[in-house]
Structures are given as structure tokens and as C-alpha cells.
Amino acid sequence: MSIRMSRATFLRAAAGAGLGAFVASGCGSEQNNRGGAGSVEGSHIILQTITALEPNFKKFAEAYTKQFPDRTVEVRATTDSPPDYAQQLATARMSDSLPDLMFNVDFLADTLADNNVTLDLAPGISEGKLGSLTIDDFIDRFVGQYRPLGADDQITGLPVSADSSALFVNRTVFDAAGVSELPTASSSWEDLYELARQIHNNSDGTYLGMERPLDNGANRLVYGPVLRAFGATIYDFDTNSTDIGSGAALDGWRLLLDSYGDVSTPYSAKPQSDPAERFDSGNVGMAVMSSANVPGLRGALEGQDWDVVPMPEINGQSTAGGGSYGLSIAQTSPNQDAAFAFLAWFYDSDGGMKVAQEVANAIPPTLEGIKNGAWREQTPPENIAVFAESAQSAELGGRFPGKMQSQVSQALVTAAQQVLLEDRSIDDAYGEAQETINTTLKEESGDS
Amino acid sequence: MLLRYLAIAVIGLLMAVPLLFMLSGSLKSAAEVSQFPPSLLPSVPIWQNFADAWEFLTPRVVVNSFIFAFGVILVQLAISIPAAFALAKIPFRWTGLILGVLIIPHFVPGNLSLIPLYVITNELGLLNTYAGMILPIGGQCAFAVLLFRQFFVTLPKGLTDAARLDGAGWFRVLTSITMPLAGPAMATYCSVTFLTAWNMYIWPLLAAPDPAHRVLNVALAPLASGSNVQISPAVALAGAVIAMLPVLLVFVVSQKWYVKGVAGTGID
Amino acid sequence: MPSVTKRRERGPRARSGTTYRRHDSAVAVAFLSPAMIGFTVFAVLPVLGGLALGLFDWDLFSTPRYVGARNFVRLFSDPTMWQSLFVTLQFLLLGVIPTVLLGFMLAVLVNSKLPAVPALRLLFFVPMIASSAVTALVWAMLYNERQGFVNQALGVIGVDGPNWLSDTFWALPALVIVMIWSALPLVIILYLAGLQRVPDDIYAAASLDGAGPWRQLWSMTWPSVWPTTALVLALQAIGFLSGSFEMALLLTDGGPLGTTQSLALYAYRVAFNDLNFGYASALSMFQLVVFAAIVGIVQGVRRTLRKGGL
């Protein structure tokens, strides 16, 4: 356990943390030459994902090796926390030990792409490295998440599944609260609020009408599509600015801020709802959630009667949102062809996509998969096919540059708190939020 | 005396609410654990939760956790006790300065020095080794040094002086006079540090990412984060209970060192 | 601290004289070296490295870019920084002293040879053993506005409780209570060790004087555990300053309106949410400087008071 620390080693270590040398000692982004095509046959690749997805990916890896006995995929997963995951990738990069394939997520995607961590998959895909699949076989809007802003022709990741939102309804709660009318595909947001109030008032607060749709003020899955439906752009790449406090956006905020109080719960700054106030507690009538929650709800709401309904429309436009984690290939990977080969199998309707639906109840991000997949047969919810529709109409537009996302959320949460806790006018609060975000956007672009 | 018992029991139970919550929750069904208002006790105890949580562990992971925690403790004891003794008992010009140096780095949030710590460990070529996991944490010995020093300081000066006059060297004084009296400090140090090391997550994860060095907290991460929708929160609580057991055991063992009991305070 | 003043009175002559013998110093160096080498390599250097990043622009993945003092200049025009500094000071003021006093009293309470007390004592260590996720879950339930235990209890006596964790006034005190509760076990366990060294005879003498238990507690026990108190104070200052922001992250997200966002939490968010490690380092450096200044002022005041014969 002891280490011999020679003077030179000590100095090197000291320098490693010291000013100039620290910078040089491995934080650099100079292109690594280790990356290359490699060979597919007899390949061993490492796939790094988050722990939540680890069990599923282990099953994919198993099925893959079963079909191609000379190829193995080692699945590694150690964390779910975004900061920890980012640190893990960054440190792995410093010690030159990045995996071949890695989990990617919207807020990191731009940073990883900018710093040459992730490989641009577009050339490989058009060379046919995904087998018979071309990029047109994927649901375009989900791939769009991994096209760097301003470089639309590049693809730095492929979506793992096509998760989109719907209105989840717990009929058991409606019954218990004595509310006989149920939400339908043609209900408006205001109709839903009215039903939620009835549940709340009829049951004297024992049941909640709705899980708070905005969370603590900035649930992008909800505010994104609603604001877009009212006509806001949210983020415009060409002018590098937001209109999140403009007239159209304000209509959206007015609607969404109305949901606190007796529609859902009084406003709370907590980032996550209390367990008892979540849809999966069985005390809550409705919730806007993503299809990714379906498998979990099957366990939590066992014995209750629950289903999904399409999201309400505003101005004739669906307010369904969505998004997906991604899989990316490392630029440093010496096994890029083997990684592509795994992806080719993974997205094949008879390969990984089949396993994904069987073991993970995932909704495939391919057009073929979403149309004819086995996922459509698995109930509850009875109406699960709703997600086929919403995945293809989901509003994923108006995303901010990845690094900006958390500052945008921060500004929006502040605005919501000013309105709800300090009675500031919506116009003023969101006007200021817009100004704050625009200032930061200008600063960030001035930097680089 | 009865009053004192009552106070200990009532305040103790108040402090222990989360434990009771964990224990009862770990035996509930997926539906019951998220029910509101929460039921005090599970209607039917579901022991399967523990079996499910156990699935995430391998013997190797458990062994790794013990190697890591005991390794940190041993390294820190070996370097800290002589240092603490010197700072407490040996007249030395730089004592004050060293005490300051030991405290100051801790006023910088730890997560900012994490990456530099990684760079150093990488430079020393210790990534993916037990040494690489243990030594950097073992080197952060300020708590150990300060704890033992404040304990040694309270030892009567006459005790060490007499031994010195008898011609004993400082090392003899440390091993044969001071150390045997350090029981309570040792118990405190071991339980606190075992807990800290046992619960460490991000450092073992970064220093030794390969599966062969995985520790318990990293292995149980899928349970703890609650982000895997297919795992019941009750199983997550069962995992937390399992992870807690060794810590509890160390605390139980350490209790026998606090033998004195101030009968004379008159509160009895 | 009589030893300090004594040395000062004797002046520099004592330093070069017999107080520090060469042999003693050599032994001290030998005893201290292993710990100091380990501490320097694995604690001091990483902190210096982390602070040095304040001069750079770095997003964790790019090559750090030298930007001079820009991050430090930004500190002073950043209203969030000033608010976070104020919150940090509130945490320190409201948290440290009650934690130390409560911890001391509870340690005396459970420092007993009575049967079954060692087992019951374990209950007092639970806040330390329970994971932060479980702790946050339980306290959130207690503080829930509609159904939480706190407001139901207040309802019994006819008080309409606030929405604790989302109230711009109450969120901070509510969070401080959670933090004190989490910090108590370490304090109790340290005082327990300290109490084992309190000589019994001081109580015998006090009893003869007719001092009641409460007076004995504060005039006998409390002074005799002073070395422990000094350690506990330092550890708790560190805890409330830079350690325990996790609860705020889980329970209030630093809100509402930044009222529970300490400098440490702010730096954490700047680093990991905004991926701006340079500015996060500048924030930490600033925290270090402010704290050093506070310590310096306190020391100065104490010295002045002592000179004035107080």
C-alpha cells in the first residue's frame, strides 16, 4: 500500500496541481489520434451509461453477444447524477480512458460536441455503417436534439427511445372524489384545471387534482410546447436571443402559473414533488408525464385504474413535449466500426429494438418501430398507442445551447417565485427573466 | 433518574425518526410505500425487498468497501497519531502554524478540489488501484490529527513529564503512556471515519472506475438515486438499510469505550 | 489561552532559549512529516489547484483558457454572490452556536452508565447514519404545508403554519433546523470522548460547595471540555460554511428567491450546472478570504479585550 515518492514524482504531482502545469496536465482538448475504425469481428467495446439504464443495456449486450458470439459489449454504469457523470467523463478523458460508446444527454451534448469528445456520426451513417438503416428511418425531431446548434448537418448522438408526454389519468381517484367527468382528447387545459379543482374540493383536499405541471417553475417538458403553441419561439439561434417574456409567451405563463393552488398544490420551491403529491402515489387525479414513466407506474399503481389521454391542444397545436437520452461514439475510440455495428444491431427492428420493447418497454425512436412495435400491445395504459402519435407531433423545438439550459431554468424559477410568492406581475417578472437570459446569451457568445 | 431515562428515550426517538421510516418503508409494498398519509407499519412485511436489493451486491463489492474503509482508517491512524502527539506534547515552534494549515483547506468546498486531486492521483499512476482510492483520502487527515491532538492535550502534563525524567524517549511516551489512554478518542475516530469512508461515493468512482474496484455505495447507486422507475422505492430503502448495517455495527462496538458516565453531574 | 500570553510576555528570548530544544524539534519533525506530506499532496495541493482555476475559463472538457482577474472582477458586480454571502453568514450565525450547545447538553445527558443507555445512545447517532436522500424525504414530509406534522401540530393550538420551505422568511430557519439536527451526532460523539477525560473530583468539590446540577454543568463540566469545544467549533464552522449545502439542494433548491442559497451551493451550481469552473473557483476563493477575515477580526477583538483586562 505504500508508494515510493521520489523527488521527481513529488514535483511532478505538485506541478500537476499547480498553475500552468495543471492546465497542461491533461485538461486539454487536443485531438487524440487513438481514434480509429478498428475491426468489427472479434471486437470488445465498452459502453458507458447511467445506472438507471444499466439493467436494460446489460440485457442488450447479452442479446448482442448471443447473436454475434465473437463480439462483446461491456456495460459500465456508476451514477445517475448529471454532475457526477460529467466529472466521470471529464476525468476519464484526462486519463485517456473514455469508453467507446457513451450515454449523452441534451444539456451535455453541445459541450461534448464542441470539445471533440463525441464523434460526428453523420458521415458514418451515410456510408452505411448502420446497415440498412439511414437517418431517415429515425424520428427526425428526436435526432434533432443531437444536431449541434448551427451545425445541422452533424449528428453527435442517436436517441435511445422516443419518449413523449401525455396526460396521465387515474380513474380510481376520479371515482373516489366523485367526479364522473373524465378528461378526453378534446379537453382544453382550462377543462383539465376545472376537473382538478373538482377533485380537490369534492374530497376536501384528500385527493389532488393534478401533479404540479411546472414543477418548481421550469419543467421544460411542459412549458416548451405550451409556449410554442401560443406562438413564442423560445430560442432563436440566428439572433441568439429569447422571447420568453414576450406577449405570446406571457399567455403561456399565465395559463401555467394558474395551476398552483387548488388545481395542484400551493407553490413549493422543492425541485421534486413530495412523494404523496406525485401521480404514482395514487392520490393524484392527473399528471403530465413522459412515456418513460409507464413501466414504473405499472408497479406503483397496481390495482388502480389508470390510462393516458393525448395532451390538450392550444391554437390547434398539440402541447406534447418529449426528448430522449442519446448514445454517442467517442472520437477517441479505436473501435468506431464495432461501435457502429452495435448501433446497427441496436436500432434494427429485429435486433436491439425487439429486446428493448420486450425487456425495457421502451418506445423505439425509429419510424418502423413506432408504427409496428410490440410496445403498443403492452397494457396498462390501455391507450398506450397515444404515444405513437405524440412522439411524432411532440414539440422539441426552441432548445437553448446546452450550457445555457440551467441558467434559463434558474431565471424561470425566479420569475415564477416572484409572481407566486411576492405578487409581482407576470409581465414584469418574465420580462426581467428574458432580459437576464439575453444578457447571459450575449456574454457566453462573446466569450467564445 | 427516571426523568433522565425518559429524556433519553424521547429525544432519542425523535432523533431516530428517519431510521424508523427507513425500516418500516423497506418492508412495504411498492404501492404502500408511496401511500399518503403514510402507514406507520407495513400491513404485510415484504422481505423480498431485501432479496431484491441484495441482487445489486456481490461479495467482491462488499470486500472492496471494507478494504477501502479500513485502508483509510489505517493510513490515517499511522500518520495522524504521531503528528497529533507532537502537536500536543512536544514543544515545537511551528505548532500554531501547522494547526492553521490543517484547517484552512477545509473552508474551500471539496467538490472544487476533486478534479485536481484526480490529476495528482493520475500523475502518481495510481488510478484503478486500491492505493489510488485509499491514499488520497488517507492523506486528508486533518480531522484525525485535530481530534487526537485535542484528546492528548487534556492528558495531565505530569504523566508525560514523569516518564521523560525517567529517561523514556518521546516514542516510548507515545506508545506506552499516551496510546493506552486514547481509547475514547479512538472509538470516536473509528466510528466517524468508518462512516465517512463507507459512505464515500464520488471519489472511489473517479479514482477506480473499473468494476473490480467498485464499492458498495457505487453498486447501490441505481437504488439510491430513485431514477430507475422499475425499482420500487421500498427496495431502495431496503438497500439503504443493508448499506447501513456495518456502520451500525461499528457504532455498537465503539460504545463500550464511553464507560465513564458522569454520575457526579447530579442530573441522575 | 494563558500559554499564548505567557510566551508573548517572555518575548523573543524565550524562542531562542530553552523552550524549544533541538532534540525535541527533531522528534517533532519526524512525527509530523508523514502526516504533513500526505496532507500537502492530497489536501493542500488540490485546493491550490482548484483555486488556481479561478484565473481560467474552463468547462470541464475544454482546454482551460487564461482570463486573468476577470472571474474575480465579476464577483463584485454579481448580486447573487452578495445575496449568497449574506445567506452563508446567516447559516453560520444561526447554526453553529446552537449546534455546539445542544450537542454538549445531549452528550452529557447520554454520558451515563445506567443500564441500556449505551443502546439508547445509538438512536442519537441516526441523523449521521441516515443518507441525505432519506433525511430530505422525512423532513419534507414533516414540513409539508397541507399535511405535514409541523403544521398539523400548530393547527391543534390554532396557529395557521406557513409553507415552511417555500416561504422567503421561514425557509432559512426551517433549513437551519434540519442542518443542526444532522450535525448533532458528530458533536455528541466528540463531546462523549471529551467527557471521558473530565476528572471526577471536580464534581465532588462542587457538590460540597452546594452547586446545583445546572450550575455544575456550566461551571464545572463545560470549562473542562474546552479543547473539545474548540475542535467542535472549527468543525461546525466548516460544516455550515462549505459542507452542508446538500440539504438545501434537496429541500429548497436554494430557494425561494435565493434565500437559502449559500456561497458553497452557488459555487456548486455555477460549476456543475453552468459548467463554469473558473467562476466557481473565484467564488470559493472569495469565501476563503471572507472567512479568514472573520477569524482575524474575532482574534483581534479577543486580544484587545484581553489587553484591556477583560
Indicate whether C51 pLDDT > 50.
yes
Q: Are strands A284-290 and A306-309 parallel, antiparallel or unpaired?
A: unpaired
Residues of C in contact with A23 (CB under 8 A): 56, 63-64, 66
Contacts 24+ apart (CB under 8 A), B22-27: B22/B237, B22/B240, B22/B241, B22/B244, B22/C130, B22/C134, B23/B241, B25/B233, B25/B234, B25/B237, B26/B50, B26/B234, B26/B237, B26/B238, B26/B240, B26/B241, B27/B234, B27/B238
Q: Are strands A284-290 and A208-210 parallel, antiparallel or unpaired?
A: parallel
Query: Distances in Å between the alpha carbon of C234 and those of A264, C130, C238?
Result: 44, 23, 6
Q: How many whole angstroms separate alpha carbon C284 and alpha carbon A96?
A: 29
The alpha-carbon gap from C48 to the nearest alpha carbon of chain B, in Å, equals 8
Look at C45 and A406 and tell me if their CB atoms are within 8 Å. Answer: no
Confidence of residue A71 (pLDDT cuts 50, 70, 90): very high
User: Within 10 A of A321 (CB to CB), how many other CB atoms are there?
Assistant: 25
C194 in contact with B, Cβ within 8 Å: yes
C171 in contact with B, Cβ within 8 Å: no
Nearest CB to A421 within list C57, C66, C168? C168
Q: Which residue of C has its CA nearest to A17?
A: C49
Q: How many whole angstroms separate alpha carbon C39 and alpha carbon C70?
A: 31
- Tell me the count of A-B CB pairs closer than 8 A: 126
DSSP per-residue codes, B15-50: HTHHHHHHHHHTTS-HHHHT-SSPPSS-SS--THHH
Look at B119 and A17 and tell me if their CB atoms are within 8 Å. Answer: yes
Nearest CB to C63 within list A14, A28, A418? A28
Residue B261: what pLDDT? 52
For residue A286, the cross-strand partners are A169, A210
| A223 exposure class (CB count in 10 Å sphere: 0-12, 13-18, 19+) | buried
Query: Which amino acid, C32?
Result: L
Nearest CB to A78 within list B120, B209, B229? B209
Look at B38 and A276 and tell me if their CB atoms are within 8 Å. Answer: yes
Look at B90 and C134 and tell me if their CB atoms are within 8 Å. Answer: no
Q: How many whole angstroms separate alpha carbon A35 and alpha carbon A45?
A: 13
Residue A17: what pLDDT? 44
Q: How many whole angstroms separate alpha carbon C146 and alpha carbon C47?
A: 44
Q: What is the pLDDT of residues C78-136, one digit of tens each?
A: 999 999 999 999 999 999 999 999 999 999 999 887 788 888 889 999 898 887 878 88
| C88 exposure class (CB count in 10 Å sphere: 0-12, 13-18, 19+) | buried
> Of how many residues is chain C composed?
310
Q: How many whole angstroms separate alpha carbon A259 and alpha carbon A277?
A: 14
Q: Which residue of B has its CA nearest to C183?
A: B15
3-state helix, strand, coil in chain A (%, to 5): 45, 15, 40
Residues of A in contact with C272 (CB under 8 A): 82-83, 86
Look at A84 and B119 and tell me if their CB atoms are within 8 Å. Answer: no
Look at A18 and C48 and tell me if their CB atoms are within 8 Å. Answer: yes
C253 or A196, which is more confident: A196
Q: What is the pLDDT of residues C160-195, one digit of tens each?
A: 889 899 999 999 999 999 999 999 999 999 999 888
Indicate whether C308 pLDDT > 80.
no
Question: Order of strands across the sheet with A101-104?
Answer: A72-77, A44-49, A101-104, A326-329, A158-159
User: Within 10 A of A207 (CB to CB), how many other CB atoms are there?
Assistant: 21
Look at B185 and C193 and tell me if their CB atoms are within 8 Å. Answer: yes
Q: How many whole angstroms separate alpha carbon A409 and alpha carbon A403?
A: 11
Residues of A in contact with C163 (CB under 8 A): 266-268
Judge contact between A75 and A51, C-beta under 8 A. Answer: no
Phi, psi of A391 (to 5 degrees): -65, -35
Residues of B in contact with C186 (CB under 8 A): 192
The alpha-carbon gap from A48 to the nearest alpha carbon of chain B, in Å, equals 11
Phi, psi of B216 (to 5 degrees): -55, -45
DSSP per-residue codes, A200-222: HHHTTTSSEEE--TTTTTT-HHH
Q: How many whole angstroms separate alpha carbon C38 and alpha carbon A104?
A: 37
Which cell numbers hold the place of A433? 427573466
Cα atoms in the Cβ-side hemisphere of radius 13 Å centred on B205: 28
Judge contact between A365 and A139, C-beta under 8 A. Answer: yes
Look at C197 and B154 and tell me if their CB atoms are within 8 Å. Answer: yes
Look at A19 and C55 and tell me if their CB atoms are within 8 Å. Answer: yes
Per-residue pLDDT of chain B (268 residues; tens, 9 = 90+): 788 889 999 999 989 888 888 888 899 887 777 666 677 888 889 999 999 888 888 889 999 999 999 999 999 999 999 999 999 988 898 898 999 889 888 888 888 888 899 999 999 999 999 999 999 999 999 999 999 998 898 888 888 888 888 888 888 888 888 888 888 899 999 999 999 999 888 899 899 888 899 898 888 877 765 555 567 778 888 888 898 899 999 998 888 887 665 443 434 3
A333 CA to centre of own chain: 25
Judge contact between C189 and B188, C-beta under 8 A. Answer: yes
For residue A223, the cross-strand partners are none
Indicate whether A6 pLDDT > 60.
no
Domains of chain B, first to last: 57-219 (1.10.3720.10)
Residues of B in contact with C285 (CB under 8 A): 108
C73 CA to centre of own chain: 28
> Quick one: which H or E segment has residue A170?
strand A163-170
User: Could you report the predicted ipTM of this complex, rounded to two decimals?
Assistant: 0.88
B105 in contact with A, Cβ within 8 Å: no
Nearest CB to B192 within list C189, C228, C264? C189
Q: What is the pLDDT of residues A114-134, one digit of tens each?
A: 888 999 999 999 999 999 999
Nearest CB to C129 within list B87, B188, B248? B248
Domains of chain A, first to last: 34-162+324-365 (3.40.190.10), 165-322+398-447 (3.40.190.10)
Q: How many whole angstroms separate alpha carbon A292 and alpha carbon A295?
A: 7
Q: What angle in degrees, to the nearest 10, is found between the helix axes of B233-254 and B17-25?
A: 130
Mutate to test the interface with B, among A5, A57, A76, A91 (most CBs of B within 10 A): A91
Specify the residue for cell string 423505439: A364
Look at B71 and A292 and tell me if their CB atoms are within 8 Å. Answer: no
Which cell numbers hold the place of C6? 505567557
Q: Which residue of B has its CA nearest to A25?
A: B119
Domains of chain C, first to last: 1-57 (no CATH), 69-307 (1.10.3720.10)
User: Chains contacting B with at least 3 CB pairs below 8 Å?
Assistant: A, C
